[in-house]
Amino acid sequence: MNYPERFSNLPEYAFPRLRALLDHHQPGGDIVHMTIGEPKHDFPPWVTDVIMENAAGFQGYPPNEGSPELRAAIADWVNRRYGVSMDADTNVMALNGTREGLYNAAMALCPEQKNGQQPIILCPNPFYQVYMVASISVGAQPYFVSATAATGHLPGYTSLPEEVLNRTAVAYICSPANPQGAVASRDYWAELIQLAEKYDFRIFADECYSEIYRDTAPVGALTVAQELGADSERVTLFNSLSKRSNLAGLRSGLIAGGPETIKQVKLLRSYAGAPLPAPLQAAAAKVWADEVHVQENRALYQEKYAIADEVFAGVQGYMPPEAGFFLWLPVENGEETALKLWQETGVRVLPGAYLSQGDPGQNPGEQFIRVAMVAPKTEMKRGLITLRDCIYS
């Protein structure tokens, strides 16, 4: 039996790789999980009540693009958060989590050719793995642009050569960045949007960490695009309730953009989408409309930032994250460090190279580990102190 070759060179996904690295070794202490970004704070207690009140909706097929109530709540949230007016019927659509949308948007919107050549899709490096597989799926060339300390931990797309930009059809950008916690400034967005206007490519703005930050809310790509008077189809926003509301399992994401963009994604999704069950859509609509729990959640993360800053004060190369809930910690070798931590302490972290592309010595994540600050504060602090004492003392 034959299998397609287009995915034959995909590396093992990050977490199976981690299990292969660690699981045949015994932990050196009480296990502290700091690998996956799965929020552990409480979600709003009334969510389950809304689901139960709407349980009869499990009997029917849910609306593919989102119920009118959910789309209205999403449009209101985008307007409230970014100051950009969105029509609930033509500018937004509900998603089954952002990963589905980030993949399907490439499927629906990336052309087969750009200026007569194979299209390029720009990806930050390190990157969320769906960017790469979406690029491959549409027959585009994923083009990885390192996001390192030298570039402010954001990809320097504006410095790319013209022959690359002429082939570029889509640029993925994550702000706040996973894993580094860097935030794109208004100037960064403006330069990228102007570049996209000049070379006629789309920007897929993955902003799912936008509500977890220290002091100032990160500026959004849609906000800057509106200020510049850019083509309404130029920027497409993706976000979700996973981090904002500690509801990763609810799978409520959003896509927002120009009417033709939404039309094309909606058409594809009508054939291949997997919408949220109606009771979950009802709950999601209520959650998108509420900001009180978001403020409470953010306050907890701000306390965690302070703990991390205290624990790693004086550690050379420590970069306090501007936003998000990951630490991107410098080490000599991420894989060796992750194994050492596991064997000697039981703390479980993710090697940075598992989130990046590049040969040994050229992989921008090779000398980092990613540490998720999602556990309760006491457990998180214990894990960070144990980690510090093991690898930085």
pLDDT in tens, 209-235: 999 999 999 999 999 999 999 999 999
Instruction: Give pLDDT, residue 73.
Output: 98
DSSP class of 117 = B
pLDDT at 248 over 90: yes
Instruction: Count other Cβ atoms within 10 Å, centred on residue 271.
Output: 7
Euclidean distance between CA atoms 287 and 181, whole angstroms: 25
pLDDT of residue 5 exceeding 90: no
**pLDDT value, residue 197:** 98
| Single-letter amino acid code for the residue at 54 | N
Cα–Cα distance measured from residue 202 to residue 168, given in angstroms and rounded to the nearest whole number: 9
Say what the pTM is.
Answer: 0.97
Structure tokens at 134: 């979406």
pLDDT(50) > 90 = yes
pLDDT of residue 24: 96
Find out whether 216 and 166 touch, Cβ atoms under 8 Å: no
pLDDT above 90: residue 307: yes
- Asked whether the beta carbons of 383 and 34 are under 8 A apart, the reply is yes
Using CA atoms, how far apart are residues 294 and 131, in angstroms rounded to an integer? 27
Flag whether pLDDT at 9 surpasses 90.
no
Looking at the chain, the whole-number percentage of residues with pLDDT higher than 90 is 95
Average pLDDT over residues 166-170: 98
Average pLDDT (366-378) is 97
**Concatenated DSSP letters of 10-51:** PPPPHHHHHHHHHTTS--SSS-EE-SS----SPPPTTHHHHH
Alpha-carbon distance of 323 to 223, in angstroms, equals 18
